[in-house]
């Protein structure tokens, strides 16, 4: 059986593969099987006969070698049912103790800022508002402002319940191996004026799937937000808390808490033409305390919503 033989590349960044290869070559029998398969292919029965071992033992040795990527085991039809035909799958093994450092250095982070007024879609109730750094947009405390032609100038948005959807480009993600994606934003609850003790559940969706519910402690005031314009009243909402949602191959996280088992793969981050990010307050949530979302000229942090992507531009062709 002719197979393409590759180098098995090992590094400290992939300890599981090291363990599998180490286990495979720790047995004299498996080393003899590898030597046997260099010159010929063989099924499990032939391997058992060649080394005078039980068929069950031969099957176990084959499984260990296959898991390590050292042999291929292909099902072929036979007189008494299908059989696994085995062949050597590698030429040599290379171990680079410093590869994890090189890979880490090759990971770059890209940032995609989004103004809070650049939402793709919105669904808000009557108790809402949207302002720029100079004035109210549209009609004060009305959903009309959310459809104003200059809504892209928004620096503070609030509502009692509803949601906003933003769409970020994902063309960069298609150019390499993505390790993590995150979204950061300044947010707090929404109360009349401000109430430091006013809990709210703020929910995050990515590509249509709910991935996190952030507990906001209150609608913060009592001091001015560092970036607030002079015309904004001291009796109103002043600042929020900076929140970050991270998504990687292990799941979704807000701060250090795992919030969902959804991953980069299950959320299909690299599919389509954009990444949908939706933030809002569900009308049936336990803590229905509304939401304030801050832009780069309001609150304490000079940003709107920022999508950050950690990715490796050059992938190695490895087993």
Average pLDDT over the chain, rounded to an integer: 90
| 195 vs 13: which has the higher pLDDT | 195
Contact 67, 20 (CB under 8 A): yes
Determine what percent of the chain is predicted with pLDDT higher than 90: 72
Q: How confident is the model at residue 314 (pLDDT cuts 50, 70, 90)?
A: low
Nearest alpha carbon to residue 267 among 162, 180, 176, 184: 180
Predicted local confidence at residue 3, as pLDDT: 41
> Highest mean pLDDT range out of 8-17, 91-100, 157-166, 173-182?
157-166
Q: Which residue has the higher pLDDT, 78 or 36?
A: 36
| Tens-place pLDDT, residues 230-250 | 999 999 999 999 999 999 998
Instruction: Please give the residue that has the higher pLDDT: either 139 or 66.
Output: 66
Residue 13 gets which letter from DSSP?
Answer: T
The pLDDT value recorded for residue 319 is 33
Structural domains of the chain ordered from first start = 6-96 (1.10.10.10), 106-312 (2.60.120.260)
User: What torsion, rounded to 10 degrees, do the Cα atoms 76, 79, 80, 86 define?
Assistant: -30
Where residue 135 falls among pLDDT bands split at 50, 70, 90?
very high
Across the chain, the runs of DSSP E, i.e. the strands, are 6-11, 42-43, 71-76, 83-88, 90-96, 107-114, 121-124, 128-131, 156-159, 162-169, 177-188, 200-206, 209-216, 241-248, 251-254, 257-260, 274-281, 291-294, 305-312
The band of 100, judged by pLDDT with boundaries at 50, 70 and 90, is low
What's the pTM?
Answer: 0.67
Contact of 84 with 61, CB cutoff 8 Å: no
């Amino acid at each position: 059986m002719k197979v393409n033989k590759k180098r098995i590349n090992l590094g400290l960044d992939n300890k599981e593969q090291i363990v599998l290869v180490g286990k495979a070559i720790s047995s004299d029998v498996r080393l003899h099987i590898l030597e046997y398969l260099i010159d010929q292919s063989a099924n499990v029965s032939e391997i058992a006969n060649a080394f005078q071992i039980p068929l069950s033992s031969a099957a176990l040795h084959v499984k260990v070698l296959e898991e390590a990527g050292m042999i291929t085991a292909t099902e072929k039809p036979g007189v008494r049912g299908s059989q696994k035909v085995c062949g050597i799958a590698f030429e040599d093994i290379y171990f680079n103790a410093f590869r994890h450092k090189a890979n880490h250095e090759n990971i770059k982070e890209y940032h995609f800022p989004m103004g809070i007024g650049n939402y793709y879609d919105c669904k808000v109730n009557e108790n809402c508002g949207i302002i720029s750094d100079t004035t109210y947009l549209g009609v004060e405390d009305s959903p009309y402002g959310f459809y104003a032609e200059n809504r892209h100038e928004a620096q503070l948005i609030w509502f009692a319940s509803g949601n906003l959807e933003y769409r970020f480009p994902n063309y960069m993600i298609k150019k390499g191996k993505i390790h993590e994606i995150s979204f950061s934003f300044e947010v707090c609850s929404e109360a009349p004026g401000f109430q430091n003790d006013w809990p709210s559940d703020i929910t995050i969706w990515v590509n249509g799937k709910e991935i996190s519910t952030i507990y906001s402690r209150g609608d913060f005031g009592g001091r001015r937000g560092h970036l607030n314009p002079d015309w904004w009243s001291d009796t109103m909402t002043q600042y929020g808390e900076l929140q970050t949602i991270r998504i990687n191959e292990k799941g979704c996280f807000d701060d250090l808490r795992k919030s969902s088992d959804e991953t980069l793969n299950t959320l299909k981050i690299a599919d389509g033409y954009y990444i949908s990010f939706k933030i809002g307050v569900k009308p049936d949530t336990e803590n229905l305390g509304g939401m304030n979302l801050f832009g780069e000229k309001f609150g304490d942090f000079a940003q709107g919503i920022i999508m950050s992507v950690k990715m490796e531009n050059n992938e190695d062709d490895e087993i």
